[in-house]
Chains A and B, each alone.
Chain A
Amino acid sequence: MHSLSVIMRAINGLNRLIGGIFSWLSVAIVVVCFWVVIERYFFGNTRLWMQDLYPWLSGVMFTAVAGYALLNNDHVRVDIFYRPTSSRNKAWMDLIGVLVFLLPFTYVVAIYCYTFVARSWGLREGSANPGGAEGLFLVKGFILVFAATLALQGISMLIRSILILRGREDLVPHDYRYETLMG
């Protein structure tokens, strides 16, 4: 049980780290997009690479932090039955959800998008727009980052469910317990 808890905490730490870093891209999006507007309206100038950059930053941001958002229970649920129920029942629902919905989803994304992403990396693919930004392959790579961070967080949720169902909620960090997350 203790080793499971260690794995869970490690995954949470990883997603917290990724989320903490990539959240800052939102500020970068503001800055780059605003600068493009300033250049366009005040200097009559555009740089094609910058026009690519801010949508890409947005794409990277929302894929990279998906696992972090799951860690914080920020992905919306239809919680008519889920919210009022006991922690044990929540643990069961999450256990089933991760196994039946989340992991198959991340598996399908990873398997069916892998060759697409790998090819893009092989070509060091840049913008489809000549004169556009380099590094589209990095953006596409985040489809796999998305699948991986979500799958990991799913495993962390599985462990949480197992710990709670085995009566070892004490091994779940406070900020990862249902009563904390459900506010």
Chain B
Amino acid sequence: MDLTLIGEIMAGAMFLGVIGMLMLGFPVAFTLAGTSIIFGLIGLSLGVFDFSNMAALAGRYTGYMTNEVLVAVPLFIFMGVMLERSNIAEQLLTTMGKLFGNMRGGLGISVIIVGALLAASTGVVGATVVTMGLISLPAMIKAGYDPKLACGTISASGTLGQIIPPSTVLIFMGDMIAGMHSQAQMQMGNFAPSAVSVGDLFAGAFFPGLLLVGIYIAYMLFMAVVRPESCPATPVPEDERKDLPREIIVALVPPLLLIIAVLGSILGGIATPTEASSVGAVGATLLATLRGKMSFAILKHTAHATAKITSMVFVILFGASVFSVVFRQMGGDDLVHEFLSNIPGGAMGAMIAVMIVMFVLGFILDTFEIIFIVLPITAPTLLLLGVDPIWLGVMIGVNLQTSFLTPPFGFALFYLRGVAPASVSTGMIYRGAVPFVILQIIAIVLLFIFPGIVTWLPDQLY
């Protein structure tokens, strides 16, 4: 058998091997790297891998450690953790709940809107689900909501942070796709490619984010009509309504200002995402201070949480680099390229195949792993086939948002399980997510049919 074929078989086996080994439950980053090293050793004995390639890790790691674009990741994480500590979410949930409480499905709608607002002010998924699970879930259950609907609404709204900018996932994808896009364009002989940046991806994700919010709200209204008993109204006493306008202003204005300053400066092309993220981090700190929440302990907590979350994400990238070095050297990239190029239906056929693979991987893996493993090996071919880079990034973002909601391994479901009252069973949380996964698929199909939802805003901006 010739070496190219052996290499490609090894690369394919390694991909499946990695997925299998991950089931052992050892941290993903190290499992990825370790499994790749094992396959590298087998490849070495078969003559299809040369370990001197591992020295490329030093250069790659240095690249990540000095990358200006990726600094936006810790900065947005810092901003998110700081905002979480200033109890903005709590205040928003209470006031919004009062505002919409008088209508059927109102509490649910307020959760969705607060989820969207928080999503627009933080780069990570996690804290939002926890906060809303702690505050809104008991309130919804007390009001007589179907626990499944309540759980689904909270987990889905909590994951909006991934797609509504700013988003750490979009930052990584923007950085990766930018390089692949210019390489693909030059390979095709276009040396004046419209550059793609993290800012473009943020702009592209803006309307799809709103679309999702709209779909969630529409679903809630639909339930209010079809199954009114699943989401009853929670009338607010008259004396509490008096103060409501003031409460709304107090709760809404500061985060809105921050969102406008950060998102507005990025989408308006005034500042790069990294620059804006530092303004966001300082703004969040200021907000916490104004609200009297600032203390040494809070700052320390924020610093520690930022460092650990950032490290967790980048270490996955480090582990995935080992995978990518071995996979490329054994010819895996060529294998994927051939496979995707020969799928019937051209670019769209290949795109559908990649989206399905990512969706399925989403059941067991989480967004970052999938992006770091799958994007580098598939995106170059998709871009060569003519797929729009911004659309590609946003489609992946929305697609992988479902990975937070799909059992058995859905982060949002775990977070919610951690804070839900004992009366809510795990089964309810899982079943509650199902309609929202379907809504998510509907959104993906809509974006597939109407790519303009993604590409219109970035086109307008420049």
List chain A positions with a Cβ less than 8 A from chain B. 19-20, 22-27, 29-30, 33-34, 36-37, 40-41, 51-52, 54-56, 58-63, 65-66, 68-70, 72, 74-83, 90, 93-94, 96-98, 100-102, 104-105, 108-109, 111-113, 115-117, 136, 139-140, 142-143, 146, 150, 183
Contact = CB atoms under 8 A, between A and B. Distances in A.
A75 B27 contact: yes
8 contacts: A30-B285, A59-B66, A62-B311, A65-B308, A76-B312, A113-B55, A142-B65, A183-B418
Contacts of B67: 55, 59
A70 B279 CA distance: 30
Contact of B58 (A58, A76, A116, A150): A116
A34 B25 contact: no
Contacts, number: 227
Binding site of B, secondary structure by majority: helix, strand, loop or mixed?
helix
Interface stretch (B188-196, B297-305, B349-357): B297-305
Contact of B26 (A33, A37, A101): A101
A97 B31 CA distance: 7
Interface in B71-121: 71, 73-75, 78
B316 interface: yes
B249 interface: no
Interface stretch (B217-225, B270-278, B386-394): B270-278
Interface string B289-331: 0000000000110111011111111111011001000000000
Interface stretch (B34-42, B162-170, B252-260): B34-42
A75 B30 CA distance: 9
Contact of A116 (B55, B68, B369): B55
Contacts of A52: 66
Nearest to A112: B54
Of the four ranges (under 10, 10 to 19, 20 to 34, 35 or more), the interface on chain B belongs to: 35 or more
A29 B303 CA distance: 10
Interface string B25-64: 1111111011101100000000000010011011101101
Interface in B340-394: 364-366, 368-369
B23 interface: yes
Nearest to B271: A37
Nearest to A30: B281
Binding site of A, secondary structure by majority: helix, strand, loop or mixed?
helix
B71 A33 contact: yes
Contact of A33 (B27, B33, B278): B278
A58 B281 contact: no
Interface string B4-23: 00000000000000000111
Given A101-B30, A104-B37, A78 B278 contact: no
B156 interface: no
A30 B78 contact: yes
B27 A117 contact: no
A53 to B, nearest CB: 10
Contact of A34 (B66, B68, B279, B319): B279
Contacts of A51: 68
A58 B26 contact: no
| Of A20, A77, A102, most B-chain CB atoms within 10 Å | A77
